[in-house]
């Protein structure tokens, strides 16, 4: 079994360059959100009423395994490096105010090279305010309006 899939759902995946931060989202005035680091967790995946849900590596791996295989990623351990390559300084951040989950203030990080990464703001006791990677999709056209750009990335 995969080492990552054995982890607690809140386990923070390490960035391939070291540390646990995958990037930095700036202050987003349109969403009234502060700046925060981007984290990737082991996460969770479930299906409720026929609809998949969850966040993090488990959710991405369970829902997008065939697409990941086509990109040469054959184990969940490859997901962090794949996502790290999509998150870059200057990558635009969009928010779709008409989406059914708009109240969660999720933002979509657009990286036209190979899809989008969906981030969700979270406030936690230990890590403070942050953005959590929810999922990845191969869609390369963002919906919504531009609300900012990624300001820092480990390299």
Cα three-residue angle 38-42-43, rounded to 5 degrees: 85
pLDDT of residue 52: 80
Cα-based distances in Å from 117 to 49, 52, 130: 24, 16, 15
Position 77 in a domain: yes
**Parts of the chain with a pLDDT under 70:** 1, 99-107, 109-112, 155
Residue whose entry in the numeric block shows the structure tokens 């190979």: 114
Alpha-carbon separation of residue 42 from 8, 60, 115 (angstroms): 7, 10, 20
Closest CA to 150 of 26, 18, 39: 26
Name the strand (E) or helix (H) holding 65: helix 56-69
Instruction: State the pTM of this model.
Output: 0.90
The answer to whether 130 touches 124, Cβ cutoff 8 Å, is yes
- Show the domain range for 35: 4-149
For 62, phi then psi, to 5°, come to -65, -40
Query: Is residue 47, in this structure, part of any structural domain at all?
Result: yes
pLDDT given at position 46:
81
The two tokens of residue 95 are 């928010």
Q: Does 154 map to a domain?
A: no
Residue 69, pLDDT score: 96
155 lies in some domain:
no
User: How far is it, in rounded angstroms, from Cα 30 to Cα 146?
Assistant: 10
Number of domains present in the structure of the chain:
1
Distances (CA, A) of 75 to 110, 126, 129: 24, 29, 30
What percent of the chain has a predicted confidence (pLDDT) above 90? Answer: 59
Look at residue 131 and tell me if it is in a domain.
Answer: yes
Residue 24 is assigned to a structural domain of this protein: yes
pLDDT the model gives residue 115: 86
């Amino acid at each position: 079994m995969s080492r990552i899939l054995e982890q607690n759902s809140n386990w923070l995946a390490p960035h391939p360059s070291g540390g646990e931060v995958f990037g930095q989202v700036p202050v987003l005035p349109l969403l009234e959100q502060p700046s925060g680091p981007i984290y990737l967790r082991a996460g969770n995946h479930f299906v409720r009423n026929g609809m998949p849900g969850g966040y993090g590596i488990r959710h991405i791996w369970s829902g997008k395994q065939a697409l990941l295989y086509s990109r040469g990623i054959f184990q969940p351990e490859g997901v962090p490096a794949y996502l790290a390559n999509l998150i870059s300084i200057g990558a635009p951040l969009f928010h779709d105010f008409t989406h059914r989950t708009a109240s969660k203030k999720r933002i979509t990080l657009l990286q036209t090279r190979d899809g989008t990464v969906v981030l969700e703001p979270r406030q936690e006791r230990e890590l403070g305010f942050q953005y959590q990677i929810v999922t990845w999709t191969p869609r390369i056209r963002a919906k919504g309006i531009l609300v900012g750009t990624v300001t820092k990335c480990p390299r």
